[in-house]
Amino acid sequence: MNIEPGNRVRAAGILLIHRDAGKQSFLLMRHHDRWDLPKGHCEAGESFRETALRETEEETGIAAAKIRIDPDFSFELFYPVQYAHLSAAVFQKQVRYFLGYLCEKPDLKITEHESARWFLWSPPHQIQSQTIDPLLAAVAEHLSAAS
């Protein structure tokens, strides 16, 4: 994990959308206590986009080449986090999310989560109020403006 001066942690992920039979769905990963997106910490010298694609491939098995990133969308969140193994210090976490499209529904190879699930795209969503719901609301706004 790359900790920047001033206790800032950078991370990135992708909201993956797949269309099948006219219906759109998006992928969430299941931790033991919550839903999340494929995401992870930026390595030294790595861009947010590079991190998002690398982490998505590591956590889902979906090759970066199969994901088409929407060039007109990104969403950032900032929030405090603590890492028990790094001390009691509070870090400012910056997470940038991208919107990615898949042409075909892939077979998943889950490596860091209990499971994964494709959710039907039917905004407004109420899944996790601090991070996922604001992202999904921003994606909904972006998609309605584009159509």
Q: What is the rounded CA–CA span in Å between residue 60 and residue 114?
A: 12
Question: pLDDT digits over 25-66, tens only?
Answer: 999 999 999 999 999 999 999 999 999 999 999 999 999 999
What are 77's two structure tokens?
Answer: 């969140």
Number of H helices, E strands in the chain: 2, 8
Please name each of the domains of the chain with its CATH number.
3-146 (3.90.79.10)
Could you tell me the pLDDT band of residue 8, with boundaries at 50, 70 and 90?
A: confident
Q: DSSP label at 65?
A: G
Give pTM, 2 decimals. 0.90
Phi then psi for residue 105, to 5 deg, are -75, 120
Question: Which tokens hold the place of 107?
Answer: 């077979």
The whole-number pLDDT of residue 87 equals 67
Quick one: what percent of the chain has pLDDT higher than 90? Answer: 73
| pLDDT 10s digits, 12-23 | 999 999 988 889
